[in-house]
Structure 1
Amino acid sequence: MTKPRLAIIPGDPSGIGPELIARLLHSEGVRETADILLVGDGHLWTQGARQAGLALSLDPVSEDELSSFTGCRHLDMETVAPEKVHIAEVTAESGASALRTLDRALDLAVAGRVDGVLFAPFNKAALTAAGMNAEDEHVYMARYLGFTGNHGEINVLGDLMTTRVTSHIGLRDVAENITAERVRRAVTLAHETLVKSGKTRPHVALAALNPHAGDNGKFGREEIDILAPVVAEYQAQQMQVTGPWPSDTVFLKAKAGEVDAVVTMYHDQGQIAIKLMGFDRGVTVVGGLPIPVTTPAHGTAFDIAGQGKANVGATRSAFDLLIRLAKTRRNTLEKVAS
């Protein structure tokens, strides 16, 4: 099989994204495992290399070459003037640049010119200032692609994935938003993404909402009335879905490698655990979309932007996972075509 072709964009120009990509391109084995298309302003890529103290030569690609390029090539764009890039600051200009390069990368994937997209960290405040009319970039991407199927944010650490039933809402609103349908969507999203990454029969564990998994209804009935019946539905289909497990012990199972994914009930229930287990290796996948998209799970790190201190670990993990997802997608498309 030929190497997958990946589009990489610099993320928010004011953050550590350009530096991270410069470090990624100098990491062992990266250029040998994928053909890479750098999408974005040339001055942003040279900015990242300068911040990292590394050399970077940009090899331009023409529109005619986009369907057959090899190696590491550069698709130039003019999304933000150099003097409008203010390191470690939230600006509408940087947000607009991030959205324009994201749109272009998604267009390339839809057209079949690349097999997946890796984006360096975005800044949500900058995206909002630039006019992103969505709660986050994941919803934005689905709308841009016209995708209405099941999708959502998946966090990955090594071989472990987490999804969540509720996400960016207040804690006081969590319980009323735990419904059987939302739980099914989260479980299915985790299961399908694991299969796409190469797992043949993944084990998905469901975290409880209440302390001690409700203690037989003493501390709440969500486990009895909602979660356990959903688990039983999947088990009746011979799928490895278990729980609900107390949330303070389910990640011990995950850390021991006993499960492949944990479905949590709210944002920090999973985020705190997985970031403590490996903040510098965490990856976010935009699960469910017809196009593989990954990014490091951390943010733009304005506190160290421009200082040459960015850790490339999570970006490399995002790159490696994207390769796996892109290969699976290409194999699937080739089977359908034949």
Structure 2
Amino acid sequence: MTMRPLVALAMGDPAGISPELTAKLVALEDVRSRSRLVVIGDRRVFDEGARVAGIAPQLKTVEQDADFRKLDSDVLFVDLGHLDPAEIERGVPSLAGGRFALANYRHALELGRDGRVDAVCFTPFNKQAMRLARADYDDEIAFSADVVGLTAAASEFNVLGRLWNARVTSHIPLRDVASQLSSERIQRALALTDACMRKAGFARPRIAVAGLNPHAGDGGNFGREEIDVIAPAVMAGQRDGIAAEGPFPADTVFLRAKAGAFDAVLTMYHDQGQIAMKLMGFDRGVTLLGGFPFPICTPAHGTAYDIAGQGIAFAGASHAALLLAAEMAAAQTSQLDGRRASSATG
């Protein structure tokens, strides 16, 4: 019998919908049947989220240094005791809210880094609150790499069912995108996308590469990046055994991917892929941080300050994020066990 993976679930921004989403996830039967959860946060904030959601999920509070793998509960709670919900104004980013989310996420990452859990998931953060708490906060990738000690390449992926979106550049001004593109950087993005998708169960992921310019440059009429930079990277990826094609016009490539021609689209900048993915499934989209030694997932939407505290937040994307984290963790464990068995008999 395959053991259910342990997933650390870090509570996100307390002024938004994260507390009620966390409570709703804990109560879902398929989440409990496919994973074991270690929720990280403050029990008072969680209980308030459960009250807002109108549910009373069962979970066991445990010590921070507990051996989670030896405990038999489906849902464990690590109470950091660091925030009174009365201190938070709903719908308003704050220093206290940013500190709360950062502490929870750091603790979850440390559990993953130390092998005490198999995956990490977190409910939405608010970037403004995070920067109030940590002035040099850039994004989750940089913060996660710092905590985990990762020196290899990492990237953010958006996942919608079986369709992935990867990107070469991410959180930079649009005016800087063209100057940041190089064949080497695109090749690295292709290789990381291929590797992460294989870890997620794709035998040989088919990756479409989007152009940068309108109509993929129109043969050089609207720019030469496709000819001089992107196409050579695609050909290099093909030589390395990656099933990559392109560059294709960005305004039509997602139509082909949605129809099943490709498993992923590698875009050149953040919104080039985000707009398409969120239009196709805003309430189901997942953000995956790839390149880390364990899966890290979160819903692709934000903290929804406008509906916080109303009990109407839809848990679809958070649900998908948690299940993807559990699925990838189970697959990685199975692959590791297979390699160990092969080594033992070899």
Q: Percent identity?
A: 46
Indicate whether 1:128 and 2:96 are aligned.
Answer: no
Distance in 1 separating the partners of 2:311 and 2:339: 45
Gaps of 5+ in 1: none
Offset, 1:221: 0.6
* 1:197-246 deviation line (CA, Å, top 9, x unaligned): 10011001100011111111111111110111111112223321000001
Match for 1:319: what amino acid?
Answer: L
The correspondence of residues 23-172 of structure 1 with structure 2, limited to 5 A, is 23-62=24-63, 63-70=65-72, 71-131=74-134, 133-172=136-175
Distance in 2 separating the partners of 1:287 and 1:132: 25
Match of 1:202 in 2: 205
* 1:67-92 deviation line (CA, Å, top 9, x unaligned): 32231111111222233222111001
Gaps of 5+ in 2: 342-346
2:186 to 180, 183, 187: 183
Match of 2:298 in 1: 295
Offset, 1:337: 5.1
Distance in 2 separating the partners of 1:237 and 1:64: 44
Match of 2:257 in 1: 254
1:316 to 319, 338, 342: 319
Q: TM-score, normalised by structure 1?
A: 0.96
Match of 2:226 in 1: 223
Distance in 2 separating the partners of 1:310 and 1:158: 20
More divergent stretch after superposition (76-85 vs 278-287): 76-85
SS at match of 2:164: strand
Distance in 1 separating the partners of 2:219 and 2:76: 59
Indicate whether 1:212 and 2:254 are aligned.
Answer: no
Offset, 1:335: 4.5
What root-mean-square deviation, in Å, do the aligned CA atoms of Structure 1 and Structure 2 show?
1.4
Offset, 1:64: 3.5
Offset, 1:291: 1.9
Contact 1:10 1:44 in 2 (8 A): no
Contact 2:58 2:75 in 1 (8 A): no
Q: TM-score, normalised by structure 2?
A: 0.94
Distance in 1 separating the partners of 2:192 and 2:177: 19
Distance in 2 separating the partners of 1:134 and 1:73: 29
| Inter-CA distance 336–92: structure 2 relative to 1 (3 Å threshold) | farther
Distance in 2 separating the partners of 1:107 and 1:335: 26
Match for 2:30: what amino acid?
Answer: G
Distance in 2 separating the partners of 1:274 and 1:7: 26
